[in-house]
Chains A and B, each alone.
Chain A
Amino acid sequence: MGVDQTAFTAAMLDPGMKVPAGLTDPEGRNAGKRFNVYRNNVVLSLTEALITAFPSVCRRVGEGHFRALAGQFLRRHPPKSPLIMFYGDEMPDFLAGIDSLSSVGYLPDLARIDLARRQSYHAADARATDPGALQALTTEALMEARIGIAPATRVVSSPWPILSLWRQVMEGAEEAGTVPEARAEDVLIARPEHDPVLIGLPPGGAVFVTGLQAGQSFAGALDAATGAAAGFDLAATLGALLSGGAITKIIGKDEG
């Protein structure tokens, strides 16, 4: 009797299901525990991948709890691609839907930072422009220019002090018992060379950077950022982009 791959995978993902007839031991008896090797391998290998992928979430909830969450996640969202290094796009929304985690409301945003760091790590290389190139432009030329942003650049916006929280979880950066000041934080993830860095952005900074990424002119992105946050701190935002090596080119009005 044949065991097709639909029957095999259904039984593999559900330990409560019987091992399909037609899978046997050397004596021709039902494979029983032998089939569990595949059940275990799939769960274990994907769980390990998620532990690697979401270090801050794993630390925040504890590894034992995270393994249990991973077991639920991988059954609900099996990978859609063999590129396991990018597995877990659905994790932030998945965590947001877990009632028992609602007291840790910022957990999905920790997951977003973990995802962004991983995407940044594997993104294409790009040479950063000389910081002097920006200063060399007249204000008029700068306003009309478009700014090339490195492929490894990501932005995470959060209603939580997410950068402070992420550092607290990953680096133990806080004194015991210190709670970060309650405020929204935007984070720039950039990759000066091979290791992604996290840099805090001032209010409106995320709007500015995503505007540039979308191909808006400097003036257009600046308008949008000022609209989003009166008193938008342009200098601090440019400083963050330059220190992260995130600006790769300046495209004048008449170029490209």
Chain B
Amino acid sequence: MLDAAQHPFDRLPDCPGVGYKPQHFTAIMENAGPVEWLEIHAENYMGDGGRPIAQLRALAERFAFSVHGVGLSIGGEGPLDQDHLKRLAHLVGWLNPARFSEHLAWSTHDSHFFNDLLPLPYTEETLNRVARHIDQVQEAVGRQMLLENPSNYLAFAETTMAETDFLAGIARRTGCGLLLDVNNVFVSATNQQTDPYSYIDAFPLHLVGEIHLGGHDEDADDTGQPLLIDSHGAEVVDPVWALYDYTISKAGARPTLIEWDTDVPEWPVLAEEARRAARILEKAAA
């Protein structure tokens, strides 16, 4: 646990954090072990009160927070949902988290919300649209946001630029930072039969304000090629740890989140994943 006197909560420490799950509340309050900050999905804390908000208030007195949106649909063809933007600004306003992030994806179309992160092609047109939306988001929440690289399962024939160039271009246009999900890099590279290390080499690492690590499932496509699926329902696999080690050796220590959202394990399992990240971060600091 962080001591507020030593670490102000207005920035994430270059240490492990975890995605907060209510079933871990007591364990975290008693002894968070290697975990020094927490992340929440913004949409789960947009109710008016009750236990979720009470737990969040209690935790926010002891931990730095990162708010991670999953419902803004920044890559959507339609306009951003202004009501949702207001709810987000309200949450970020009272919680005052150290970081706010969202996805390079869309989830709402024609006023329906699909509860999944859907892909978009990388073109001048989509770059303009995403940049315009990020300008609106940063204006509404009054701070810089981080944009996260997606897990890709397929490609768009119309795509004209590399994802790393697309992300760098958006950051240049909007002043946003980037959230590098190393598991997503591995999943996408495997699915697209490209080299994940080349992706890291091409990524603008100086813009990375946070890193995500999580587990994935393994499947195969119609031709028997591996098809990895980002599930956040298992331990981080060794090849992703190796890619993370490489990333940290290049970028230096960065706040690193363990994401585990489905089949959530007991706290000690999650703490052990955080400990593994801590060892890699400490090596970089030494």
Contacts and interface: CB of A to CB of B under 8 A. Distances in A.
- Asked whether A and B interact, the reply is yes
Interface of A: 1-6, 8-9, 12, 21-26, 28-29, 31-35, 37-38, 41-42, 45-46, 49, 78-85, 121-125, 151-152, 191, 194-195
Given A25-B155, A82-B71, A122-B48, A49 B106 contact: no
B116 A4 contact: no
A3 B126 CA distance: 12
Contact of A23 (B48, B81, B156): B156
B222 interface: yes
A35 B118 CA distance: 10
Interface residues of B, number: 50
Interface in B87-124: 87, 106-116, 118, 121
Given A2-B158, A22-B157, A25-B223, A82 B109 contact: no
A83 B43 contact: yes
A9 B155 CA distance: 16
A3 B156 contact: yes
Contacts of A78: 112-114
A79 B121 CA distance: 25
Interface stretch (B49-57, B166-174, B205-213, B234-242): B49-57
B70 A82 contact: yes
Contact of B109 (A2, A6, A152): A6
B43 A82 contact: yes
B114 A5 contact: no
B261 to A, nearest CB: 10
A79 B115 contact: yes
Contact of B154 (A1, A6, A34, A124): A34
A41 B116 contact: yes
Contacts of A83: 43, 46, 71, 87
A78 B37 CA distance: 34
B49 A124 contact: yes
B192 interface: yes
Interface string B135-160: 00000000000000000011111100
B50 A24 contact: no
A90 to B, nearest CB: 13
Contacts of B118: 5, 8, 12, 38
A124 B154 CA distance: 43
Interface in B54-71: 54, 70-71
Given A38-B118, A151-B48, A5 B154 contact: no
A31 B114 contact: no
A77 B44 CA distance: 21
B28 interface: no
B225 interface: yes
11 contacts: A5-B110, A24-B157, A26-B193, A31-B153, A37-B219, A37-B227, A37-B229, A79-B112, A79-B115, A122-B47, A125-B53
A6 B155 CA distance: 17
Given A5-B76, A9-B114, A31-B154, A122 B52 contact: yes
A124 B51 CA distance: 10
B191 A34 contact: yes
B84 interface: yes
Given A124-B48, A152-B50, A1 B227 contact: no
A49 B227 contact: no
Contacts of B108: 82
Q: Which of A4, A29, A79, A124 has the most CB of B within 10 A?
A: A79
A82 B84 contact: yes
A37 to B, nearest CB: 4
Given A83-B87, A84-B113, A122-B47, 9 more contacts: A6-B110, A9-B110, A22-B158, A31-B153, A33-B227, A35-B153, A46-B115, A121-B51, A152-B50
B155 A23 contact: yes
Contacts of A12: 114, 118
Contacts of A21: 157
A78 B116 CA distance: 12
Nearest to A2: B158
B114 to A, nearest CB: 5
B43 A42 contact: no
B113 A81 contact: yes
Nearest to B106: A5
A5 B76 CA distance: 8
B155 to A, nearest CB: 5
A25 B112 contact: no
A24 B111 contact: no
A153 to B, nearest CB: 13
Given A22-B157, A26-B193, A80 B221 contact: no
